[in-house]
Amino acid sequence: MNAYVQRVIEETKKKHANEPEFVQTVEEVFSSISPVVDAHPEYEKADLLGRMVEPERIFTFRVVWVDDQGQTRTNIGYRCQFNGAIGPYKGGIRFQPNVNLSIMKFLGFEQTFKNSLTGLPMGGAKGGSDFDPAGKSDAEIMRFCQSFISALYRYIGPDIDVPAGDMGVGGREIGYMYGQYRRLKGVFENGVFTGKGLTYGGSLIRPEATGYGAMYYLLEVLNHQGESIEGKTIAISGFGNVAWGICKKAMELGAKVVTLSGPDGYIYDEDGVSSSEEKVNFMLEMRASGRNRVQDYADKFGCKFVPNAKPWGEKVDIIMPAAMQNDVNLDSAKVIAANGVKYYIEVANMPTTNEALAYLMEQKDIVVAPSKAVNAGGVGVSGLEMSQNSERLVWTAEEVDAQLKKMMQNIHKASADAAEEYGLGYNLVAGANIAGFKKVAQAMMEQGIF
């Protein structure tokens, strides 16, 4: 590995030993871009990598709200404006009890390269809170979102920083946050958020975009391998918005999604979750119920439920982890390889531990695709929503969908080409890191030292 790259990784490990997820993603991305740094010795003098691992700005704030019993509650809010070299900061907001500095930084760092890959002018950011939305009433969610934005509104804007949803934040939460932003600023500046409702500037296909984009990317991979998607079985984890989009598109394409998972375990539906609209729509009901249980699916449709387990032991053609970080560890990776799975397509942000990822990539007969490319359709359509907002017009679902598909084809091609250029073969993981990195690196070099 390039000595400068190695040194920045080692320093990051030392300096941020208490931020394991952040260190993990820095190591994953930077170990791929070593050949680019070899070709650009000027990066070391400009300490480009040392600057890249330090967020341009990151802050926390107090979020206070009153629950339905009249009790005052205090949470911590975060916004990490990681890198603005190629556009306004852009990235989701996550509400989940395990949100901390390390998770915000790993997501913001990933987002920087992902957004670069979309080809659109968006910098990288992430935000969130350790607030747990599970079991909260609608009124509590509204008061929390209002308080969150009262603290954050001065620091975001259509040309500054454009938040969106992530885990625990969907259309409802974005609505409350935008309403509070509009109320405090006294402007109709709807380009400040993406993932909005359709009545106030949301984009058609944004709810579907991450899942659809993942399937479009999968189609490119299969096409490269000379295979068809029809009849392929897919195991996914999660049962949220992204999993829903995957199932909807799988139904259209004739693929069979056989598993979903939640904190309580996983379901195995032999006929496929993607076999009927009723089943796919039920996923929305499960999510909206706030119960956070996937067993409800098995109870309703009479299929297998395995408590307290992940679906990675099931024999399928394709695996698509779509739940959360570090969902697949080395033991799971070994089972996946032993089962003869041919496609390992990451969807959630950093769903694979670095050792599991390395193991899977060593397997000659498994194609591995990285999440920062596969899930980029979500933020990609957010970029299209920003374009529509700034032009004050609305594109049809067909127009957005066609652009999303083209974007995913471009991302796959740019990744494959970048890997090829550095003699790495069909290495989509390294290719995505290299392609995403190059644009940010060049923009930073051209903008001077800061």
Residues marked as catalytic: 126
- Which listed range, 90-98, 134-142, 223-231, 264-272, lies at the site for ligand 2IT (CB under 6 A)? 90-98
**What is the pattern of x (binds ligand 2IT, CB under 6 A) and - over residues 340-369?**
---------x--------------------
Please list every residue from 228 through 287 that binds ligand 2IT, using CB under 6 A.
none
Residue 87 binding ligand 2IT, by CB under 6 A: no
Within positions 96 to 115, which residues make up the interface with ligand 2IT, using CB under 6 A?
A: 111
Beta carbon nearer to ligand 2IT, 152 or 366: 152
Shortest gap between Cβ of 142 and ligand 2IT (angstroms)? 21
Stretch that binds ligand 2IT, among 86-94, 226-234, 272-280, 421-429 (CB under 6 A): 86-94
Q: Give strand pairing partners of 265.
A: 262, 307
Host H or E run for residue 80: strand 72-83
Residue 336 burial (C-beta neighbours within 10 Å; 0-12, 13-18, 19+): buried
Segment contacting ligand 2IT by CB under 6 A, of 69-77, 301-309, 354-362, 372-380 = 372-380
Taking the least distance from each CB to ligand 2IT, the nearer of 164 and 366 is 164
Residue 435 near ligand 2IT by CB under 6 A? no
Residue count, binding to ligand 2IT (CB under 6 A):
12
DSSP β-bridge partners for residue 81: 57, 125
Nearer to ligand 2IT, 2 or 203 (CB): 203
Distance CA 378, CA 347 (A): 11
* Region from 71-79, 88-96, 133-141, 306-314 binding ligand 2IT, contact rule CB under 6 A: 88-96
> In which residue are the tokens 């996983």 written?
266
| Structural Rg of the chain based on CA atoms | 21
Asked whether position 403 contacts ligand 2IT by CB under 6 A, the answer is: no
116 counts as binding ligand 2IT under rule CB under 6 A? no
Going by the DSSP 8-state scheme, the letter that residue 291 receives in this structure is -
Site string for ligand 2IT, 175-204 (x = CB under 6 A): -------------------x----------
Give, for 422, the enclosing helix (H) or strand (E): none
Which residue in the set 207, 240, 262, 378 belongs to the binding site for ligand 2IT (CB under 6 A)?
378
Least distance from ligand 2IT to the Cβ atom of residue 110, Å:
8
Q: What is d(CA 117, CA 445) in angstroms, rounded to the nearest whole number? A: 18
Residue 246: Cβ within 10 Å count: 31
With binding defined as CB under 6 A, does residue 431 bind ligand 2IT?
Answer: no
Instruction: List the one residue from 40, 79, 90, 249 that touches ligand 2IT (CB under 6 A).
Output: 90
Distance CA 351, CA 237 (A): 10
Is residue 92 a contact residue for ligand 2IT (CB under 6 A)? yes
Residue that has been written with the tokens 């969807």 in this structure:
347
Kindly state the tokens that stand for 198.
Answer: 């359709």
Contacting residues for 19 by C-beta, under 8 A, at least 6 apart: 101, 102, 105, 106
Counts of helices then strands in the chain (DSSP H, E): 18, 12
Q: Tell me the residue nearest to ligand 2IT as measured from the CB.
A: 92
Residue 433 vs residues 110, 115, 417: alpha-carbon distances, Å: 9, 11, 12
Cα separation, 342 vs 229, in Å, equals 12
- Given the rule CB under 6 A, which residues bind ligand 2IT? 90-92, 111, 164, 166, 194, 349, 375, 378-379, 382
